[in-house]
Structure 1
Amino acid sequence: MTAPRIVHGGGIAAASQRFGGRPEDWLDLSTGINPNPAALPEVDVAAWHRLPDRHRQDAARAAAAGYYGTSGALPLPVPGTQSVIQLLPRFVAAGRRAAVVSPTYGEYARVLENAGVAVDRIAGLNAVSDAHDLVVVVNPNNPDGRLFSREALLDLHRRVAGSGGLLVVDEAFGDMRPEATIAPLAGDNMPGLLVFRSFGKFFGLAGLRLGFVIGEAPVVDRVEDGLGPWAVSGPALTIATGLMTADTTAIRRSIDARKAALESVLAGAGLDIVGGAGLFALVDRADAPAIHEGLCRRHILVRPFDYNARWLRFGLAPDATSDARLAAALAEVTAGR
């Protein structure tokens, strides 16, 4: 039996159909994406005209290696890390199990189970055993921001690799916590480790559908082969090369400022922040479903969770005007108006 599709954030069209209003007039806080996209570098006409030549991929891989600090490996560009999640069942040997540290991004367990892989949703790293051929850790975690230290992940890697398994560390939200990332250590000298990185979240360009995977050559080659030729477009490779070799200080400062503003709004509304990462905050409230619907009726979308009805995830608003709009809406909703 195929598991039902997961309803992710970003569903403005569906929300506007149900609650009214034009999609462009909604305030979308349902995703963990930088609300202020980075300025696009120039993209030459040939990038649009031709299939992506090897030199473009090589340039993007070199830029990503510098950005992620991966001196021992060249990150492989992929059309969003979701595309690689679809390939993960290929890395589980027949009769072996997978473990996903949960709760977390739901596509991991869904894809594996739909492929017939037995999945254990585990609460912590100590629950990993020799029975697990594939282990997935999202770090920082989505949606609660749980963060394991690099030392804890290296210890886990030794255990997983020692039993012939593969540890996947998803660092989609790692750009704001570079000191905790394990990507710089991935490569041929760390067999049994595969790291996922997102491009679109930090740079605010999720529509580009671009990510990177970092690991030992045989595993990365299997990923590349599974995706097929020309998986990433020339314009995407060109944009990544430009932005990942530029100074990102202003982007980081903007995200920090937007996160501080969001936390101020949530605290001012009396909402209890129980977790989060640089691009989102997680709130725990008994009346979370009512708050979600009340905000929708005011054309503001946040992210609810079917597995925990008390949780709401708030992404960053783009500016002070949007902060004020959220604050006013929360004041009305929490007052029962």
Structure 2
Amino acid sequence: MAFGPPSGGTAGPPGHDLHHHGDVDAAEGLVDFAVNVQGDGPPRWLRDRLAATLDDLGRYPGAAHDAQARAAAGARHGRPPEQVLTLAGSAEGFALLPWLAPRRAVVVHPGFTEPEAALRDAGIDVTRVLTDAREGHALDPAAVPAEADLVVVGNPTNPTGVLHPAETIRSLARPGRVLLVDEAFADAVPGEPESVAGDASLPGLLVFRSLTKTWALAGLRAGYALGDPVLLARLAAPRPHWPVSTLALEAIVACCEPAALSAADQRARELAGHRVEQAAALAGIEGIEVLPGSAPYLLLHLPDGRGEAVRARLRAEGIAVRRCDTFPGLGPDHLRVAVRPPRTARVLVEALDTALRDLAVAA
């Protein structure tokens, strides 16, 4: 397959812009396939819920509100409140990783680059473990060095969209190791079948969850971590007072309530149908390979040497897609595209087909 290096294993020093994210590829006025936020903003009921807290903004975020948010998130995953740490988005959690002081940190790639960036910025060496492109970017637990005391993996993984079996994820846990599972997109999978967020007994498990994607709250920064209270205390050691805003705390409470969970699952089921339709349409374009996935985005591989030209053509046509040469294990001929409703997806399919045909003629 052409989705990355031919085999799993470790990779060395960085040669990628680890701080590049999809919001850089998107811009006002472009049809946005670069960012994986669903919709143009939060639903009306959530807007109203957040608006109702505006009168409280004259006071600092309270301990009782934080406790309420932790209780709501804990109940959502069958955990007590003391096993929840509220976060200003998962990105804050990644920024706190250096405080775990790992001696041998491992990040599974291709994957979200912010964990590795945060660790390297703090002077911590990172070993990369690459998933096997020949096997659809499946994760081989044996590729992870036994001496690793911090292992970071996304599930589903960004940008491949691969949903690793929960048993594969669990096999990475062991005493003396922190296993961080980034489940930012887990609620985009109907039923969340491979989530380990509720595995309170798994040694060293740390799970990050985000509310920003499904609920279109990227500008609010809301999420939480799940783990052993001692591990969470280590992670939170350097935080300032009031690290999570009143609005973000209310968002956590609201989005963890039963009605919201039911709505999120319905969204995930609709998204799954859109993904199948969009993947089939893209795969019908000559020369494009589409990696099957279980996330609100698709990884594409374009004909060799045409990735950058295609991105430029799409941008000129008013379409933003996510470049993937910033992900270790991928290159300039890989693109990530968000799954959108069929009418919007057709805009991408038609423009991509035209761009490749024109480039083929020009060649």
- Aligned amino acid, residue 7 of structure 1: H
Match of 2:133 in 1: none
Answer yes or no: is the 8 Å Cα contact 1:196–1:212 preserved in 2.
Answer: yes
Distance between the aligned counterparts of 2:195 and 2:254, measured in 1?
A: 22
Q: Kindly indicate whether residue 219 of structure 2 is the aligned counterpart of residue 219 of structure 1.
A: no
**Inter-CA distance 113–321: structure 2 relative to 1 (3 Å threshold):** same
1:298 Cα deviation from its structure 2 partner: 0.7
Match of 2:134 in 1: none
Q: Kindly indicate whether residue 221 of structure 2 is the aligned counterpart of residue 209 of structure 1.
A: yes
1:4 Cα deviation from its structure 2 partner: 5.5
Classify the secondary structure of the residue corresponding to 2:251: helix
Deviations 1:125-160, CA, capped at 9 Å, x for gaps: 2122343221111111111123322222222102xx
Answer yes or no: is the 8 Å Cα contact 2:155–2:186 preserved in 1.
Answer: yes
1:117 Cα deviation from its structure 2 partner: 1.6
Distance between the aligned counterparts of 2:279 and 2:208, measured in 1?
A: 28
Distance between the aligned counterparts of 2:147 and 2:41, measured in 1?
A: 43
Distance between the aligned counterparts of 2:351 and 2:146, measured in 1?
A: 50
Match of 2:198 in 1: 184
Q: Kindly indicate whether residue 335 of structure 2 is the aligned counterpart of residue 312 of structure 1.
A: yes
Deviations 1:274-305, CA, capped at 9 Å, x for gaps: 14332101111122222211111111000112
Find 1:78's aligned residue among 87, 108, 119: 87
Distance between the aligned counterparts of 1:296 and 1:266, measured in 2?
A: 18
Distance between the aligned counterparts of 1:4 and 1:264, measured in 2?
A: 31
Identity %: 30
1:242 Cα deviation from its structure 2 partner: 1.6
**Inter-CA distance 111–330: structure 2 relative to 1 (3 Å threshold):** same
Answer yes or no: is the 8 Å Cα contact 1:140–1:174 preserved in 2.
Answer: yes
Match of 2:313 in 1: 294
Match of 1:336 in 2: 358
Deviations 1:218-260, CA, capped at 9 Å, x for gaps: 1112223322221111112112212221232432233234323
- Aligned amino acid, residue 282 of structure 1: L
Answer yes or no: is the 8 Å Cα contact 2:99–2:235 preserved in 1.
Answer: no
Deviations 1:10-35, CA, capped at 9 Å, x for gaps: 225xx65xxxxxx2x21111122223
Distance between the aligned counterparts of 1:46 and 1:68, measured in 2?
A: 30
Match of 1:20 in 2: none
**Inter-CA distance 229–295: structure 2 relative to 1 (3 Å threshold):** same
**Inter-CA distance 257–152: structure 2 relative to 1 (3 Å threshold):** closer
The aligned length equals 319
Q: Kindly indicate whether residue 106 of structure 2 is the aligned counterpart of residue 120 of structure 1.
A: no
Classify the secondary structure of the residue corresponding to 2:173: helix
**Inter-CA distance 260–130: structure 2 relative to 1 (3 Å threshold):** closer
Match of 2:19 in 1: 6
1:1-337 aligned at under 5 Å gives the runs 6-11=19-24, 23=28, 25-35=29-39, 37-39=41-43, 40=46, 41-42=48-49, 43-70=52-79, 74-93=83-102, 96-123=103-130, 124-158=140-174, 161=175, 164-177=176-189, 178-186=192-200, 189-245=201-257, 246=259, 247-248=262-263, 249-270=265-286, 271-286=288-303, 287-306=306-325, 307-317=330-340, 319-336=341-358
- Aligned amino acid, residue 196 of structure 2: I
**Inter-CA distance 250–140: structure 2 relative to 1 (3 Å threshold):** closer
Scaled by the length of structure 1, the TM-score of the pair is 0.86
Moved more, 115-124 or 278-287: 115-124
Classify the secondary structure of the residue corresponding to 2:249: helix
Distance between the aligned counterparts of 1:239 and 1:302, measured in 2?
A: 29
**Inter-CA distance 139–179: structure 2 relative to 1 (3 Å threshold):** same
Structure 2: runs of 5+ lacking an equivalent: 1-12, 131-139
Q: CA RMSD in A?
A: 2.4
- Aligned amino acid, residue 165 of structure 1: R
- Aligned amino acid, residue 301 of structure 1: A
Distance between the aligned counterparts of 1:153 and 1:331, measured in 2?
A: 37
Moved more, 119-128 or 289-298: 119-128
Structure 1: runs of 5+ lacking an equivalent: 17-22
Distance between the aligned counterparts of 1:125 and 1:28, measured in 2?
A: 35
Deviations 1:62-99, CA, capped at 9 Å, x for gaps: 22123334358642210111112112122134xx2111
Distance between the aligned counterparts of 1:45 and 1:122, measured in 2?
A: 45
Answer yes or no: is the 8 Å Cα contact 1:70–1:183 preserved in 2.
Answer: no
**Inter-CA distance 64–72: structure 2 relative to 1 (3 Å threshold):** closer
Match of 2:6 in 1: none
**Inter-CA distance 38–257: structure 2 relative to 1 (3 Å threshold):** farther
1:333 Cα deviation from its structure 2 partner: 0.9
Distance between the aligned counterparts of 1:4 and 1:102, measured in 2?
A: 14
1:267 Cα deviation from its structure 2 partner: 2.9
